[in-house]
Amino acid sequence: MYKFGIAILCTILVFLSFSQTSVEKETDSFYTAYIAADNNFTKAIFLSDNAGDDEVKIAAFEKVYKQSLLEFTVLLPGLKKNNLDSLYFMASVKTGLIHDYFDSSQLAKIAYTNAIKIKERLPQIADSFLFQPLLFAGSIYYRTGEFDSALLYLKKAEAIKTNYTQKLQEEQRLYNLLGVLSYETGNLDQSLNYVEKAIENMSVTNSNEKALLINYQLNIASILSKLERYAEAEAALQQTNQDEIYKDEINHKLGYICLKTARPGEAIRYFDKVKYPNTKKIIDLLLNKSKAYQNLNEPDSATYYLLKAKTENLKWNGSKKNISNGIIFKQEAEQLVIKKEYRNALALYQQSILQFSNTFSNTSTDANPETFSGTFAFIDLFNVLTAKGDVLKQLHDETKDIKQLEDALNAYRSGFKLAAYVEKTYNSDEARLFLGKIKHTVHSKPIDISLQLYDLTHKKEFLEEAYLFDQRNKASVLSFNIQVKEIKTLHKETNELIQKEALLKSGITRLSIKTATITDTGELQKNYASIRNTEIELEQIQEKIQQDPAWQQKSSIDQIPPVATLQKKLDPATTLLSYHLSENELLILLISSNQFEYFKSPVDSAFFTNIELLKKSLASTAADSRYAGTAAATSLYEKLMLPLQARMLQKKRLIIIPDDELNYLPFEVLQDANKKYLLEKFAIQYQFSTALISKQNHSPSRYGILAFAPFASHEYEGPDGERFSMLPGSKEETGQFKGTVLSDSIATKFAFLQQANRYNIVHLATHASVNNTEPMRSFISFYPGSPDYKLYAREIYDLDLDSLQLIILSACETGSGQLVKGEGLMSLSRAFTYAGCPNIITSLWKAEDKTTAFITGRLHYYLSKKYTKDHALQQAKLDLLQSNEIDPRLKSPNYWAHLIFIGNYEPGRHTNNWWWMAIVLIAGAFVYSVISRKKPRSKNRA
């Protein structure tokens, strides 16, 4: 219900000031009739504001409102016929408002859209008058499930609001609606921003606004639930639990939380308390009840409530496409899957897809959406496409019909193509990571189906499909951002929007870092509000950038190279190994210049236990501790390397793309049956995904090496009281190569920010701190001579390091961080990759100062000799193992294996040039033989 304050009267007075001249030229009767209708409209608004819950007063208000509607309806044709556009515009808006109040949505929509068209002929009327018809038309389109149209109108209303510094009436409704629309499409963090902004813009002065406030708070709880922040959502609901008006909604949402946290019995107890009046909210309640009973394994009750939901949905939504109908079909299908009625379930899944997709209409169960556009229930559609793929796989297992297995793969293809589309529509990493979490729950299934098809058909295309699914589920957020960054880098000098975007991102970073230092609750809330508002402004800028056709074309290019393309890049001495880890199986994809194979083996809890044991053993460098990881390293070698051994007899280099828990391990420490380290056999480099192999920097660096050693000579205490010990090895570390070395007080954060992108190599020999709870708060320490001496991960993400070729992070744990399934470690090294630096040598754990200095010193020596980066690091570590200068106790892997290389692949010089050398040798031999034959013979003298 919409009830509007006396402020509407102000719009009429303003309107009369600029329309008086035209009205005087028309028949006085039209003007008189308009004033009469408008007087009743204003009177009705006044009565509404004072009616409260008094039914008699509400009836009196509605009677006057209906009278006003009748008068405007009679007047509208005459205003249109006589071209009285100003009056026609205002009368249309108010007609729409009254229809909206009486829930005549279709008539209200016609009135609003009519007013919007009229406004195009009235440039003299301020755009602020267009705000309400755009807002309420968008609201109606949202309520009828037409998300594209809703977004179009709401974004136009938002653009008007952006141009006005003063508050516009009902603007809080705009932000709430944008939040709800973002919620429907799965962009949950932005949804939270918008609804919180709606609350911030409210001025609660009457019971209607208090009711709206509670409604918005309930929306916050719904968003938190979807974000799986259930404890916060429950706390938010408990705060509003005293309000009797919203008791039903609160109990419904509390029941939903119980349902999502595996408490179906408790969920039903909450659902049973809900006594909705005649409202379409009953559909969701019945669906949730059905799901709860299904989880309790009570199929009869589940079916009963599902049928009731179907009846209610037909009553409220008729036969048109709608999300509730899609959920109904999906839950019906799930019930049939439990009974193993796969064919009937498949038909229902197809009907569900039709409901969730705004353009797809093919009822054939072997058809899937291939292209996507606009705004719709992305997550629901993804879930039903993958569920369809799963049931097709089960049907194949029963019938052995290979077409059903191919159809299953096609359903997954469609689902993951949708996910790639959605990833591009989101404007925040948080939203993309949340989508990645959803993808990760099913990402093993299409890989397994692809390999099963390959085994059955021996067609390489299915093996390639397994590879593509594997890579698209590895660091997809990072890969996408690097792609976008490269596109924007090409235009950053000229594009004002890109420059504005960069400024807003930096602003968010500064505010986010400041948050940790604020203790006053009021100031903290202001800071959060500033972050929220800036994030909303940032989204508006990003939406404009994405409207550029050139950007759309470049961003649509698939970044995963085909296997054939990859093979051409690899020299004969190199093998790429991509690992895929599921709960009970290990998959290894092997690619070289002339090989493309896969290996699968079962894994159990012992495998994961060994990963953890090896990880802990490597991280232990206490003086009295001994390395205890040999047994785990040998056991893991048998799983991770032994099956491939025969395929790599002539190989000298490995590119390893790890997965999930394997990200914690340096493969160099794995040991064969003879206790020989993998380091001794191969130069090893790591990469997040094949999408990032051979990424090129855009502009050449001007200088050589820049090094920072802020703690080379002294220990320091920062202005914030944090103490940093001296790193005497860093002086030796940075003094062994030719370049610019900044140590102690001149090794500042400011110097790094000013100079880093001018150099080919940057070497940081310093302290670092990893925050596994909030990865963006991990930091690298520079000389603490000012309050701003920590370089936070969030700041690194904002940097442009597109000229820097290699950064060496000789600091503790820069390669470690929070593990995000499918995306990898949220480490400081990942932040530098995001910033544009393609090559990073980083540390996985806190290591001993002296061995680190030795390795990095030898590393620079070999780099100066033009070794490839992986080979240079390998040789530096081998030198340590063979050196008489190093105490034997410091030669166990926990002292040398912490440094790893992540980055671009470069073909080896020896393998790349062997054929030139062969040609030279052959040519030389040929020339020699020719010369030898032509040489004159000596003559004997008498």
What backbone phi and psi angles, to 5 degrees, belong to 781? -95, 135
Q: Residue 681, SS3?
A: coil
Question: Which H helix or E strand runs over 244?
Answer: none
- What percent of the chain lies above the pLDDT cut of 90? 70
| Predicted confidence band of residue 939 (pLDDT cuts 50, 70, 90) | very low
pLDDT at 216 over 50: yes
Rounded to 10°, the helix 247-260/230-239 angle is 160
Q: Are 495 and 542 in contact (CB under 8 A)?
A: no
**Per-residue confidence at 647, pLDDT binned at 50, 70, 90?**
very high
Residue 7 CB neighbours (<10 A): 10
Q: For 712-743, what is each residue's pLDDT tens digit? A: 999 999 999 999 999 988 888 887 778 899 99
Place of tokens 């893991």: 636
User: For strand 824-827 and strand 585-592, is the pairing parallel, antiparallel, or unpaired?
Assistant: unpaired
Query: What pairing do the DSSP bridges indicate for beta strands 840-843 and 806-810?
Result: parallel
Q: Which helix (H) or strand (E) holds 419?
A: helix 402-425
Among 483-497, 690-704, 834-848, top mean pLDDT goes to 834-848
- Backbone angles phi and psi of 876, in degrees to 5: -60, -40
* Cβ neighbours of 9 (radius 10 Å): 14
Residue 17: burial class (beta carbons within 10 Å; 0-12, 13-18, 19+): exposed
Binned at pLDDT 50, 70 and 90, residue 5 comes out as very low
Count CB atoms within 10 A of the CB of residue 28. 9
3-class secondary structure, 589: strand
Angstrom distance (rounded) from CA 140 to CA 400 = 49
Positive or negative, the Cα torsion across 766, 770, 775, 776? negative
The residue behind tokens 């909604």 is: 249
CA atoms within 13 A on the CB side of 667: 28
pLDDT band at 623 (very low <50, low <70, confident <90, very high): low
Per residue in 488-533, pLDDT (tens digit) is 776 655 578 888 998 999 999 999 999 888 888 889 999 999 999 9
624, pLDDT greater than 70? no
Q: What pLDDT is recorded for position 762?
A: 96
Antiparallel, parallel or unpaired: β 759-765 and 740-743? unpaired
**301-325 tens-digit pLDDT:** 999 999 999 999 999 999 889 999 9
More confident position, 466 or 582: 466
How many CB atoms neighbour CB 189 within 10 A?
18
Per-residue pLDDT at 7 exceeds 60 = no
Q: What is the pLDDT of residue 114?
A: 95
HSE-up of residue 346 (Cα within 13 Å, Cβ side): 21
Give the whole-number percent of the chain exceeding pLDDT 70.
91
Spatial separation of the C-alpha atoms in residues 623 and 681, rounded to whole Å: 29
Q: What is residue 757's predicted lDDT score, i.e. its pLDDT?
A: 93
Query: What is the rounded CA–CA span in Å between residue 566 and residue 573?
Result: 14
Residues 109-166 pLDDT 10s: 999 999 999 998 999 889 999 999 999 999 999 998 899 999 999 999 999 999 988 8
Residues 826 and 820: beta-carbon distance below 8 Å: yes
Q: 322 by DSSP, 3-state: which?
A: coil
Distance CA 519, CA 526 (A): 12
Report how far apart the first and last C-alpha atoms of the chain are (Å, whole number).
Answer: 131
For the chain, the average pLDDT equals 89
Q: Compute the Cα dihedral for 784, 786, 792, 796 and give only its sign.
A: negative
pLDDT-based confidence at 915, cuts 50/70/90? very low
Q: How many CB atoms lie within 10 A of CB 616?
A: 15
Position 346 scores a pLDDT of 98
| Type of residue found at 795 | E
Asked whether the predicted pLDDT for residue 336 surpasses 50, the reply is: yes
Three-state secondary structure along 364-400?
A: CCCCCCCCCCCCCCHHHHHHHHHHHHHHHHHHHHHHC
Using left for φ > 0, alpha for ψ between -120 and 50, and beta otherwise, residue 542 falls in: alpha
Lowest mean pLDDT among 13-22, 496-505, 701-710, 875-884: 13-22
Distance, in Å, from the CA atom of 167 to the CA atom of 197, rounded to the nearest integer, reads 13
Model confidence at 912: pLDDT above 90: no
- Between CA 338 and CA 566 the distance in angstroms is 43
Surface-to-core class of residue 279, CB atoms within 10 Å of its CB (0-12 exposed, 13-18 middle, 19+ buried): exposed
Which of 80-89, 613-622, 628-637, 766-775 is predicted most confidently? 628-637
Predicted pLDDT at 27: 57
Nearest to 626 by CA among 851, 895, 844, 897: 895
Work out the average pLDDT over 558-564: 91
Residue 856 tokens read as 């990095």
